[in-house]
């Protein structure tokens, strides 16, 4: 059995344990509705495409740092706040509007429902393995209803380099005193999740049950069977 030495399983969150696309869509809509009202109030044109332009500008400005030192924009919450401040720079109440738009996004960003099939799968795996999470996103896992099944959560918002950098998985080996080959990372992205596992020397399973035409119950059962037999 290829996973017989596994002691700890690290799960990605977005699009691995819940469908993140409708969540982000709603969060963006609520934040943009508020911004549209504020721009109209001051007779200014609201252009959501400009937000994406500023975001790309800020990320591109730090690309040269990514290989040799920490980039502050690994933290997506920090990145969003910086972009909002720039986006709202011509409003008389820039900081207040930017902060409220950010708060609305984060509020709706956490309106996530964990499917029953996922909870059942985690409970089955929790009987045999230590479970943790590792995410690049700005969703605080402690605020989600995982029923206490995770021992610890790791996130780029905590100051770790974002995946595929191995920082979060490396920290797990220190925190739990396991070798890298005793850790399995599971996620939906072959680049970010698969890459971080490869760089850390950990095992990896690609798990993307929320893609079109996937059957959640069958995908969960397949993963349980793979790891528990």
| CATH number of the domain encompassing residue 182 | 3.40.50.1000
Q: Structurally, how many domains does the chain consist of?
A: 2
> For the chain, what is the mean pLDDT?
91
> Whole-angstrom Cα distance, residue 13 to residue 109?
13
Report strand pairing: 152-155 vs 130-135.
parallel
The share of the chain scoring above pLDDT 90, in percent, equals 76
The residue-averaged pLDDT of 62-79 equals 67
Whether cis (ω within 30° of 0) applies to the bond prior to 164 is: yes
Greater pLDDT, 76 or 9: 9
Alpha helices in the chain (DSSP H): 21-41, 48-61, 76-87, 94-109, 116-126, 167-176, 192-200, 216-228
Q: What is the pLDDT of residue 135?
A: 96
Q: Which domain holds residue 153?
A: 8-19+113-228
Answer for the pair 207, 186: CB distance below 8 angstroms, yes or no. Answer: yes
Pair 95, 124 in one domain: no
The label of the residue with tokens 């040799």 reads: 68
Q: Residue 184: in which H helix or E strand, if any?
A: strand 183-187
The residue-averaged pLDDT of 209-221 equals 90
Q: Residue 63's pLDDT band (boundaries 50, 70, 90)?
A: low
DSSP state of 143: G
| CATH number of the domain encompassing residue 66 | 1.20.120
Model-level pTM?
Answer: 0.90
Q: Which of residues 68, 84, 109 is at a domain's end?
A: 109
> Among candidates 144, 146, 143, 141, which has minimal Cα distance to 156?
141
Summarised one tens digit per residue, pLDDT across range 138-181 is 888 998 999 999 999 999 999 899 999 999 999 999 999 999 99
The share of the chain scoring above pLDDT 70, in percent, equals 95
Pair 193, 217 in one domain: yes
């Amino acid at each position: 059995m290829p996973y017989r030495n596994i002691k700890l399983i690290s799960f990605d969150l977005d699009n691995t344990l819940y469908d993140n696309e409708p969540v982000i869509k709603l969060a963006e809509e609520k934040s943009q509705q508020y911004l549209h009202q504020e721009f109209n109030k001051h007779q200014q044109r609201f252009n959501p495409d400009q937000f994406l332009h500023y975001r790309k500008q800020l990320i591109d400005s730090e690309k040269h740092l990514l290989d040799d030192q920490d980039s502050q924009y690994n933290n997506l919450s920090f990145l969003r706040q910086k972009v909002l401040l720039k986006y709202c720079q011509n409003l008389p109440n820039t900081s207040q509007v930017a902060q409220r738009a950010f708060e609305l996004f984060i509020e709706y960003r956490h309106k996530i429902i964990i499917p029953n099939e996922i909870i059942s799968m985690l409970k089955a795996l929790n009987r045999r393995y230590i479970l943790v999470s590792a995410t690049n996103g700005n969703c605080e896992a402690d605020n989600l209803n995982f029923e206490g099944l995770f021992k610890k959560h790791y996130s780029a918002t905590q100051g770790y380099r974002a995946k595929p950098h191995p920082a979060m998985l490396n920290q797990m080996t220190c925190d739990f005193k396991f070798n890298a080959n005793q850790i399995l990372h599971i996620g939906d992205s072959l680049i970010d999740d698969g890459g971080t596992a490869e760089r850390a020397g950990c095992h990896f399973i690609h798990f993307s049950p929320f893609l079109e035409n996937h059957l959640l119950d069958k995908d969960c059962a397949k993963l349980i069977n793979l790891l528990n037999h």
